[in-house]
Amino acid sequence: MTVEKSLPFAGKKILITGAGRDFGRTLAINFARLGADLLLSARKIENARATETMVRSMLPAANIACFPIDLTDQRQLAGVRAEIEGFTDRIDILIHNAGFWLRDDFVDTPDDDIVSAVASTATGPFILTKHLLPMIKRSSAADVVFLNGTTALRNNLRAINEAFSAAKAAQALFSERLRHRLRESGVRVLTIYPPDFYNTSPLDPTKWEYRRDAFEDLTLTARNVFDCIRFALLQDRICSIDEIVLSNNNGRNLRN
């Protein structure tokens, strides 16, 4: 894996939830390439450590710490700040990536799964943000990023589990209100709404760099999503890109 000569996130303390797999792992790899110090969290800490091992195999000197964060466990969330403060006194970027996907039809979804989805997508991130705000405000240039999805949007007509969609909508409203609360403190809040996307690995340059044409029957990729996050975070501090809505520009593949 190549490390970029310019390291725009050098020294930045970035906390990523759901960092043990999928797009959370993609975020970790890419921000490590850009010089960030990583705070990786996952419900099972061994998954976060697996991501750490992957990053260190390519960047041995990477500054990484792993934390178990179960967004459905309120008592654990209450103690997260003290644990993270053992590694750093501030958080420059908090990325809410974790979530619990509901695949089944709503009426067939187990009650416990609905509770888990709402907790990991809505109440868990709310509580985690609350407890970490003092650390976020210690940063001279802090950002909070919510990886949401087009399923949260009111005009989205795609068939989706209603409980999951509602949890994402709650997260969207929370991020909007949080943005207004924190604006005077200089903290920016970005919410990004991608449709379904293919989690291409940044470790596979051929697939990662492949530019998809509008007439291909394909979805967006993780690179498209990451590039938008990176673009928003690198703007001058006076510029807050509040929301980014992505769509598949392909009439044969409208998975929004």
pLDDT value at residue 124: 94
- As a whole number of angstroms, the distance between CA 9 and CA 233 comes to 9
Point out which residues pair with 197 in neighbouring strands: 220
Considering only CA atoms, which of 100, 40, 97, 29 is closest in space to residue 65?
Answer: 40
pLDDT value at residue 5: 57
pLDDT value at residue 11: 92
Average pLDDT for consecutive 10-residue bins of the chain (256 residues)?
A: 72 96 94 96 94 92 93 90 94 92 80 89 95 96 95 78 89 96 95 91 89 86 96 97 90 52
DSSP string, 55-76: HHHH-TT--EEEEE--TT-HHH
Q: Is the pTM of this model over 0.85?
A: yes
pLDDT value at residue 248: 86
pLDDT value at residue 34: 95
For 113, the enclosing helix (H) or strand (E) is helix 111-118
- As a whole number of angstroms, the distance between CA 39 and CA 31 comes to 11
